[in-house]
Structure 1
Amino acid sequence: MNIVARHLFLAIAVALSLAVAPTGANAMTIDRPGPAPVASVTPSDGAVVGIAHPVTVRFSAAVTDRARAEKSLSVTAGDPLPGSYSWRGDRELTWTPSGYLPANTTFTVNFGDRRTQFDTNVGVIADANMSTHTFTVSMGGLVVRTMPASMGKPGYETPTGTYPVLEKFRNLIFDSRTIGIPLDSPEGYLIDGEWAERLTWGGVFVHSAPWSVGQQGNSNVSHGCINLAPGDASWYYENVGVGDPVNIHW
């Protein structure tokens, strides 16, 4: 073998030795980076929430491996619970249960070495019927109150589906500009509201509406929210929990 051929052979051998990982005790392994650090988990540790409450993990840095993050999250009540995953941006992972969570139950959330626990309440379920213009509340499976209501009028229909209560407000300003209606429009409004529960981030609420009491129970006149009389709205505010479901249908 001449000198050129020998050098070429040695170069190829060295390249192959670097490309093929050795086995055994001296093997070198390269680990993928772990999930991004967790900034918060909701429900918070020790919280009592409604039976449709999702579990949300917020990260302090962008998550590049979403599949791995989803596999790292588990929600259990003795056994793992079925659910679905969704993302809001690259720093917020939400797990939504399949159906309602069991009432009066303790749940454990694990994400890596992060562990929290929360409890569900008795189960406060509201049924908003846009055909009968009623808002019916059950607790623990028993109907406890049926209230006249008014939902979204034509062109501003209340969305159908099941929505967990996201937030509660004793007082809140309703501004039509937040749903794309200018104040100088015939449909514009700026109202001091009370006894409000947010159902969607797009602006659907259950709330007190003294201005529509005459239509509650017989017609739909709102801009998409569920209108209740002040006394009914305050009662619902005092009894509903964040995470309790509202089922809206015709």
Structure 2
Amino acid sequence: MLVLTRWFRRALISGICVAGLLGAGVIPALAEPGDPGDPGIQEPAPPPPPFELPPPPPLPWELPPPPAPDAPPPGEVPPAPAPTTPPPGAPPTGDVPPLPVGLLKNSPNNGDVVGVAQPVTIVFAAPVTDKKAAEAAVKITTSKPAPGYFYWYTDQQLRWKPTQFWPANTDVNVNAGGTKWSFKVGDAFVSTVDDATFTMTVTRNGVVERTMPMSIGKHDKKHETKNGTYYVSEKFQKMVMDSSTYGVPTTSPEGYKLDVFWATRLSNSGIFVHAAPWSVGDQGKRDVSHGCINLSTDNATWYFNQSHPGDPVIVKNSPGGPYKDYDGYDDWQRF
């Protein structure tokens, strides 16, 4: 009998075990590096790359021009644009040439309210030789139609007034070589002094407001009040009237020096509407003044409070002849 050694028996048993495992299709748990592993287990597929939008096309450097407007049909001319004119009363528009001589002062002042007989006065810093150039540099606009004209009171003083009294409640704007101002014409506050009836009748916008007894210059060939259109220039609640200021001594029979109240100046030759309580007995009956229009204190106060510079006072039926004294306020008589 064959006797096997211990080592041979162990080798034989190990070979039988390996053969049995191979025959059964068993794969050892440990594999060599690089072994493909179990083919029955599938690895997950890699995810697809993320979806990307294509880049936008580059913008052009310039936008296309807008389409041209349709041309008018042949023979048809497009209408001309309407002319642009400032509304009545608007400040003067456009440029005016410069004044040939500097502006010294003007009247009325900016913001004044004046009467319907008030002229526009421009005083230059020196006499003007090129008068046409000066007139061309002055532009006047009004809120109501008021045709008028320039006239030269002196070589240094240009004036403008309407051909008739201003329309009541008119806004006036003046541009003199680029210097601008505006004023307002108020109500038509018009007084008529009738020496035939010894009355002073005052109307406002054509309606009679008051008729007052009055007395004007006495008929002695020296003091008669002259006929014509005056206008209010300034007012004094109290003033001293002195006959020596026009050459008559206060000590002479015709002289005087006294306080006078509610005095409204009409001329630079000394004509005022004023209170004259000393002549109330003559007012409405006869003329006894030195040329002024005498009223009672009540009537003179009322007129003083109601009137404005530029309010006209028309004297008629006096034996004194026409008012043409060249005293600065005879615009409506001489021009």
TM-score after normalising by structure 2 = 0.62
CA contact (8 A) 1:163 1:245 kept: yes
Corresponding letter in the other structure for 2:203: S
Q: CA deviation at 1:80?
A: 6.4
Unpaired segments ≥5 residues, structure 2: 1-97, 318-335
Matched with 1:12 is: none
Offset of 1:138 from its aligned partner? 0.6
Q: Distance in 2 between matches of 1:211 and 1:233?
A: 13
Q: Which letter maps to 2:260?
A: G
Query: Residue 221 of structure 1 corresponds to which residue in structure 2?
Result: 288
For residues 248 and 136 of structure 2, the distance between their equivalents in structure 1, rounded to whole angstroms, comes to: 42
Distance 1:70 1:220 in 2: 44
Aligned partner of residue 133 in structure 2, secondary structure: helix
Partner of 2:128: 63
Q: CA deviation at 1:81?
A: 2.7
Q: Which has the higher contact order (CA 8 A, sep 6+)?
A: 1
| 1:82 aligned onto 2:148 | yes
Shift of 1:113: 1.0
Alignment deviations for residues 8-40 of structure 1 (CA, whole Å, 9 cap, x no partner): xxxxxxxxxxxxxxxxxxxxxxxxx95111122
Matched to 2:151, the amino acid is: Y
1:180-227 deviation line (CA, Å, top 9, x unaligned): 322122100111011111111111111111111110000001111100
Identify the residue that residue 144 of structure 1 maps to in structure 2: 209
Task: Give me the CA root mean square deviation.
Answer: 1.8
Percent of aligned positions that are identical: 44
Question: Could you give the per-residue CA deviations for residues 148-194 of structure 1, whole angstroms, max 9, x where no partner exists?
Answer: 00001112111110111011111111111223322122100111011
Match for residue 168 of structure 2 among 103, 107, 112: 103
Rg comparison, structure with higher value: 2
Structure 1 stretches lacking a partner, 5+ long: 1-32
Contact conserved, 1:178 with 1:203, CA < 8 A, in 2? no
Structure 1 match to 2:192: 127
Deviates more, 1:60-69 or 1:232-241: 60-69
Instruction: Identify, as 1 or 2, the structure richer in strand.
Output: 1
- Normalised by the length of structure 1, the TM-score is 0.82
SS at match of 1:231: helix
**2:197 partner amino acid:** T
Moved more, 207-216 or 35-44: 35-44
- Report the alpha carbon displacement of residue 137 of structure 1 after superposing the two structures with TM: 0.6
Matched, 1:191 2:286: no
Match of 1:47 among 112, 116, 122: 112
Distance 2:172 2:162 in 1: 12
Separation in 2, partners of 1:236, 1:140: 16
Q: Which runs of 4+ in 1 moved over 6 A?
A: none
Read off the aligned partner of 1:223 and give its amino acid letter: H
**Aligned amino acid, residue 191 of structure 1:** L
Secondary structure at the aligned position of 2:305 is classed as helix
Task: Report how many residues are paired.
Answer: 218
- Partner Cα distance (1:217, 1:234) in 2: 18
For 1:61-100, what per-residue CA distance to the aligned partner results, in whole angstroms no more than 9, with x for missing partners?
A: 3322223223333332155631341323x33222232210
